Structure 1
Amino acid sequence: MNATEELLDERTVIPYLAGRGVIDAKRATARILGGGVSNVVLAVTDGSRRLVLKQARAKLAVAEAWFAPRERVLREAEGLRVLSGIDQDAAPALIDLDRDALTMTIEQAPEEWTDWKSRLMAGEVDPAVAARLGEALSRMHRATQDGSGLSAELVEDVETFDVLRIEPYHRTTARRNPDLATAIDEVIARMRDTRQCLVHGDFSPKNVLVGDGGAWIIDFEVAHLGDPSFDIAFLETHLLLKGLHAPQRRDALAATSRAFLDAYARDAPISDAGHLSRQIGCLLLARVDGKSPAEYLRAPEQRRAHELGRTLLVEAPDAPGAAWTLIEQGTE
C-alpha cells in the first residue's frame, strides 16, 4: 500500500495491520472513531491489543476547502515519541509507523477514559488535570530547547503549521477583520521568527485523554519547532471559550486556568505575558471568524469572544490570566 491509494476503513484496516505483523486478523475487529476531521481514525482490537490507527486526509472534513500535507502524520508520530521519552506517562505508546501509507498506530486508552473536552462540557472541571498538563508541557518545552532531540525533518517542516494553523486561523481572521490585520500580522511574524522548542500546535482539551490516575496528550500532527507561547495560548483560549459559554462554571474554569499556568511557570516562567495576551486574542478571534469556529458558541457568546479577543490583541495586557480579569470586569 502507498500514500496515493484509498484511505483505510473498517474493512481494509484489519488485513493491513495483520500484514504488518501488528495484530491477529482472525480475532480482530475494527470500528471508526469520531473526531476524524483531519484523519481517518480507526479503533482495532484482536483480544490482546487495543489500538488506534490514524491516516492523514489530504482534504480536511470541514465545510470550507482546507488542504494539508499528509506527511504530517510523521510529525505526529515523532511528537508522541519525543514526549514519551521525556514523560512516559504523558502519551500513548507508538506501536507502528508506515511512512509509505502514512499511517500511525498507537495504543488505545483504557475503555473508561474520555477526552477532557467532553468532561469540561459536561461540567466536570478538575484543576488537577490542568496542573498535570502544565507540568508536562513545561517539561517538553524545556527538554527540546533549540531542537534538542528532534529530527531534521521536523525542524525543517514549517509548512504544516502554516497550512493547519496560521492560514486558517490567523490569516483568515485578518482578511475578515482588516482593521486588525496589522496587529495579527505582527503576531504571525513573531511566531515565525521564534523557533525555540517542540510546540504541540493543537494543545486543546479534545486532545487530552483523561482517566483515573492519568492523562495522555495526543494529536501532535501540527508539531513543529516554534514559539512555546502558542501552546499556552491555545489551551487558555479553549478554557476561556468554555467560560463564556457556561458562566455558571466560570470560576471553576478560571481556577483551572490558574492551575495550568502556575504548573507551567514553576520551572519555565512566562517571559512575555503581553505576547501571550496577543496570541490568545488572535485565537479567540479565529474561533469566531476563522475556518474552524467553535461549534458550541451561541451568537451572543461569539460576540463576547470576539470583543475579548480584540481587546487582548490590541491592548496586550502584560499579565498571565489577564483575560479572566477582563471577563470579570465585564469588558468582554
Structure 2
Amino acid sequence: MALMDTDMPFPHAGGIVEIDSDEVDYVLELMNGTGIELFSSQNVRRLQGGVSSDVWLMDCLQGNNLKRYVIKQPLATLRVQKNWSAPLKRALYENLWLEMASRVSAESVPHVYYFDEKKPLLVTQYIDVTEAEVWQRQLFSGRFDLLFVQQLGEQIAIFHEMTAGSQNYAREFNSADILRATRIEPYIFALIDTFPDMSERLVEIGESVLANRISVIHGDLSPKNILNRDSKPVFLDAECACYADPAFDIAFCINHLLLKFYRLGDARFILMSRLLATSYLQKVNWEDRTGLEKRIAALIPVLMLARVDGKSTLHYLNECHKNTIRKKALNLLTKNLFSLDFIFNEVAFTH
C-alpha cells in the first residue's frame, strides 16, 4: 500500500499575481515591435509556477473587445535549489514544436502570435480556465478522466509518428545540447554522485535518449504542462523539444502518474498509467513495439529516482515518500526490464 500524508499540502497550478510598474514597463517594451495590437488599456500580471521562464499574462481591452496574451521569456538560470543553467535558444525549439503540433491538430496547442529568437520572446494565446483545466489540478483534486488519458496517449503517439524517420525534422530539431542541459544532465547524470555504483547504467540510459534519434519529442510532458479541454489534451511548455528517443516522452508522463500514486495512495493512478501506456503503444507503427516498450521501462525507474535525488525534486513528496520511491527505483534499476506491466505491478504492491 502506498504511503499518504494528509498533512502535506498539494501543489496548485500557477496563480496570477500583480507586478510593479518597472516590471510592467519591461513587458511593454518587450511587446514593442511585435506588431500585436495592444489597444489603449493593458493589464500585465505574472503567471506563477514556472522555474525555467518568466511568464506574464497581458489583458488588452478596448471597449468590449478583450484580447489576452501569454508572454514568455526563458531564463538562463532556472529557479531551483541546485545550480542549473540551460541555453536560451530553447525558446526557438518550443516555437518549432508548437508549429509542428498545430499542423497535426491546431486545437492541441495554444496559437502562437509572435516569436523573436533574438530577445528571445514567445507570445501565445491565453487559454482560460473556463475553457481548459490544468491536468495536474484535476489529478490532485481526485477527478480522473480516463477518456482524456486515452486520448493523451494516442495524441503523443501521433506526434511521434508524424516526425519519425524524417530527415527534415531531424535537422530542424537538432537540439541535443538543450535536452542534455534540461533533462539528461539534471535528471539522470546528476544522480551519479549520489549513486556511483549505478553510474554505468545511468550513463547508458541517458546517452541512449540522445543517441536514438527517432522522432521529435516534447521533453516535458508533466501534468502541469497539459490541459484538459473536453477530454482532449492541450500541450504547453515545449522548451525541451528535440529529435531524440520517443520513449522519453511517454516514460516522463507515466512517471508523474506513478509518483502521484506514492503521494496519494490511489490505485487509479496505476490504472491511468496502464491506460496511457496501452493507448500510446497501440498506435506505434514506426518501430517495433517490444523494443520501444523496453526502452520506456528502462527509463521509468531512472526518472523516479531523478525526482527525489536529481536537480528537479518534487516538492509534494515528503521524506517518507522519497525513501519508498528511492528503494523501489534502485531495485528496479538492477533488473533487465522488458515489460511496463511488471513495473506497474511492482509499484502497486509497494509497502
Q: TM-score when scaled to structure 2? A: 0.87
Matched with 2:192 is 174
Contact kept in structure 1, 2:90 and 2:239, CA below 8 Å = yes
Matched with 2:280 is 264
**CA drift at 1:153:** 4.4
Matched with 2:85 is 67
Structure 1 residue identity aligned to 2:252: F
**CA drift at 1:83:** 0.8
- For residues 232 and 293 of structure 1, the distance between their equivalents in structure 2, rounded to whole angstroms, comes to 19
Point out which structure has higher relative CO (alpha carbons under 8 A, 6+ apart).
2
- For residues 233 and 348 of structure 2, the distance between their equivalents in structure 1, rounded to whole angstroms, comes to 30
Among 38, 54, 57, which residue is 1:24 paired with? 38
- CA gap of 1:277–1:312, structure 2 versus 1, over 3 A, is farther
- CA gap of 1:235–1:213, structure 2 versus 1, over 3 A, is closer
- CA gap of 1:59–1:277, structure 2 versus 1, over 3 A, is same
- For residues 332 and 219 of structure 2, the distance between their equivalents in structure 1, rounded to whole angstroms, comes to 20
Matched with 1:254 is 270
- For residues 226 and 59 of structure 2, the distance between their equivalents in structure 1, rounded to whole angstroms, comes to 22
- CA gap of 1:25–1:65, structure 2 versus 1, over 3 A, is farther
Superposition pairs for residues 91-106 of structure 1, below 5 Å?
91-106=109-124
Contact kept in structure 1, 2:274 and 2:344, CA below 8 Å = no
**CA drift at 1:151:** 7.0
Aligned residue pairs total 321
CA shift digits 1:89-143 (9 cap, x unpaired): 2111111001121010111112323311122112222222211211110000000
- For residues 329 and 46 of structure 2, the distance between their equivalents in structure 1, rounded to whole angstroms, comes to 36
Matched with 1:5 is none
Superposition pairs for residues 1-332 of structure 1, below 5 Å?
9-47=23-61, 48-112=66-130, 113-147=132-166, 150=169, 152-155=171-174, 157-247=175-265, 249=266, 251-268=267-284, 270-272=289-291, 273-330=293-350
- For residues 23 and 63 of structure 1, the distance between their equivalents in structure 2, rounded to whole angstroms, comes to 39
Structure 1 residue identity aligned to 2:140: M
Contact kept in structure 1, 2:47 and 2:56, CA below 8 Å = yes
* SS in structure 1 at match of 2:243: strand
CA shift digits 1:9-39 (9 cap, x unpaired): 4332234325322132422211100122110
Contact kept in structure 2, 1:257 and 1:321, CA below 8 Å = no
Contact kept in structure 1, 2:147 and 2:231, CA below 8 Å = no
- For residues 257 and 289 of structure 1, the distance between their equivalents in structure 2, rounded to whole angstroms, comes to 22
- CA gap of 1:149–1:121, structure 2 versus 1, over 3 A, is farther
Q: TM-score when scaled to structure 1? A: 0.91
User: Bigger CA drift: 234-243 or 256-265?
Assistant: 256-265
- For residues 115 and 245 of structure 1, the distance between their equivalents in structure 2, rounded to whole angstroms, comes to 19
* SS in structure 2 at match of 1:92: coil
- CA gap of 1:19–1:241, structure 2 versus 1, over 3 A, is same
- For residues 28 and 129 of structure 2, the distance between their equivalents in structure 1, rounded to whole angstroms, comes to 20
User: Bigger CA drift: 18-27 or 178-187?
Assistant: 18-27
**CA drift at 1:316:** 3.4
- For residues 246 and 127 of structure 2, the distance between their equivalents in structure 1, rounded to whole angstroms, comes to 27
**CA drift at 1:276:** 1.6
Matched with 1:4 is none
* SS in structure 1 at match of 2:44: strand
CA shift digits 1:183-237 (9 cap, x unpaired): 1111123222200000111111011022335431111100000001001110111
**CA drift at 1:148:** 5.3
Tell me how large the CA RMSD over aligned residues is.
1.8
